[in-house]
Structure 1
Amino acid sequence: MRRTVDEHRAAVAGLLRWSSGYDGAGAEVLPLAAALGRALAGDVAAPVSLPPFANSQMDGYAVHADDLAGRDAFEVADAIPAGSVPPALAPGTAAPIMTGAMLPEGAAAVVPIERADPAQFHSATDRARGPVTVRLPAGIDAGLFVRNAGSDIAEGEAALRAGTLLGPAQLGLLAACGVGEVPVRPRFRVLLLSTGDEVAEPGAPLAPGSIYDANTTLLEAALREAGAEVSRHRLLGDDPAVLRDAFGAIPAGSTHLVLSTGGISQGAYEVVKQALADSSVEFSSVAMQPGGPQAHGTISGIPFLGFPGNPVSAIVSFEMFLRPALHQLTGVPAPRPVLEAVLVDALDSPRAKHQLRRGLYRDGKVALVGGPDSHLLHALAASNCLVHVPEGVAALAPGDRVEVTLMGPVPTDPFAVEDVLVLDEAGTDAAGTG
């Protein structure tokens, strides 16, 4: 079966929506420190107003409402530090007040210390000698540099809505409201396995003809970064019977998704394809490079996705299909930023496929990193975006505008871009594979 990228993205999203059993129910209550990156399971109302009381926005002098129009000379009252409850302010006096300190009763404005004469607070020694005065500009506007109670949010209002992704700003708001713990949606659970007689665990001795398993680490990190809970299955060899037994041993309800890499293409030893030959799993050819071979369906009612075995193909498949589906279903992770950029390099692309090149985006421009091949992990590690070349486009020239999906930080060091251009010259392979 041949699909476009959009068709397969919709198929993966539908599979997770209707077959994963994930509904966000069974909220987990976490302290704020543990809730970063999670999605709220319900609305959270503000238990207090922000600010909870009228306070000063500046270091300066609190001025009584009766004195805003004409008076310019004031007797200095007792200072008001932050955290104190001040006495009422008498007309004709001005109280030194610190940023964030509670506005005294009767005060209606704060004049910054820079506008006072003298432009610094009187010392304790000065005040010990007797009453001191300060001159302030005449004609002070009511509310000047005053933060009114509830001006940010009023008590009882919704501080955050269900489904909100909790980042630093959201957690900071909840902390300011005095909320100590929040209900969050449960994590989406993924069982991750890799296949292939040729793969070995990183850190183990490498036998002749073997390669280290990059896919499990690569996808586990991507899934965890996307907010999923990941279980790793031991590496499986190229025996379809062993793989069928492994699939059959997965307890019902233990995971929302089974994800494998490798064994789904057109080779003679495609173990996943052989093991699932009599299942409802569909093996598709998606018009995408890299990552064309794809599998999706259910195994004993559990959703299953099969990604290609080449590492770059696997992570591109995750970014294009699984990560967006997780966002739609769980609210986590946040969508990747999609930007328009000016292409630095020329490229060729198969006209019948949506090609995804790795690139380094900076200052509105994107330089290609490595060639189109799906094994170039060094180039992947040096990139921060995917460069989209849509179906129907066979070539692009320097200066053409392209769409990029940002996947990493944007460098500020110009030498980083120069290094990537060197890597591109060394790593470009015009042939390109799966």
Structure 2
Amino acid sequence: MELLSLIIAIAVVAIVVVAGLVTTGARRGRAELDERRGGTDVLAPPRPAPEAPTAPAETLGAPPAPPAPTLERPESAAGRLVRLRQRLARSQGVLGRGLLALLSRDKIDEDTWEEIEDLLITADIGVGPTQELVERLRTRLRVEGADSAPVREVLREELLALVDPTMDRRLSVSRQEGRPAVVLMVGVNGTGKTTTVGKLARILVAEDRSVVLGAADTFRAAAAAQLTTWGERVGVDTVVGPEGGDPASVAFEAVRTGMEQEVDAVIVDTAGRLQNKAGLMDELGKVKRVVEKQAPVTEVLLVLDATTGQNGMIQARVFSEVVDVTGIVLTKLDGSAKGGIVVAVQRELGVPVKLVGLGEGPDDLAPFDPGTFVDALLGD
């Protein structure tokens, strides 16, 4: 009996020892498997992911707003006039020097007067104004004599009279009866019309006037983007519409915006297509009628490229028959030696040149001053 009890005790001990060995082996097997698998026990619950580092306080939430762009301060009219005279003297001095050389000859005969006529016509002054100027010069030099006044002084007086300083060249760009002034910019594509709208806005901003721009040239894809950029540079809003949309609706919205913001002036850039006069008349006429439901149009400025000469005169005639043009803007005047177009276009349309473009810079647009122009012609 005692022997049986001893055998049973030995058997129990053996079973316990064997079970311990099996358990230890299993654990070692799982450890080796875990090590091969990267240390993760597939039977154990997943380990919590490490906490993400806390972001600095300034990066939490919405990103900070970008800094407001620095607005440009356009150049004053006084500074523009100084550059106007300098640039015109370089580009237009050929005409004045040529006239002075011919009129200063010891003997002025018929051949000399023919040379003077040729020089004036070549400068695009036009046949009528040329004949008028030559006749007045001949009379003064014959009656008064060349010695009664310096030839330069006589020529200056006659050229100034030809340019006509009595014309009203002021721009109507002030609020009237609680409504903004409305300026329509017209002209064919390629004359610098859209650029002129942006430059005119800079002139008004330099005078501390508030402005809204209307991109009603909806048929030229780049026109709206170009005008918007001009406005952004000086803090001016631009109203745009869908590409190929109705220009009149864009013009209407621009004026409505100007009314709401109580600005001084709304400048509307119109389409410059010139396929036929009837289509142009319909389009510009509609724009003008729609705009005037809210505020009267105070200026219709026709933009002409001074370098096109007589082609510009043809354009001027067409537009003057379509809309009531109130003033001329001559662009690229510094790039042309044919400054006589100032006289020709004024005589053709009976309206003054009010602004002249002098170059490619953002402030290269200036009010036209007859005295400064004539002095530049003579190289003073």
Q: TM-score, normalised by structure 1?
A: 0.25
State the structure with bigger RCO (CA 8 A, min sep 6), 1 or 2. 2
Give the structure with higher Rg (CA): 2
Higher helix share: 2
TM-score by length of 2: 0.28
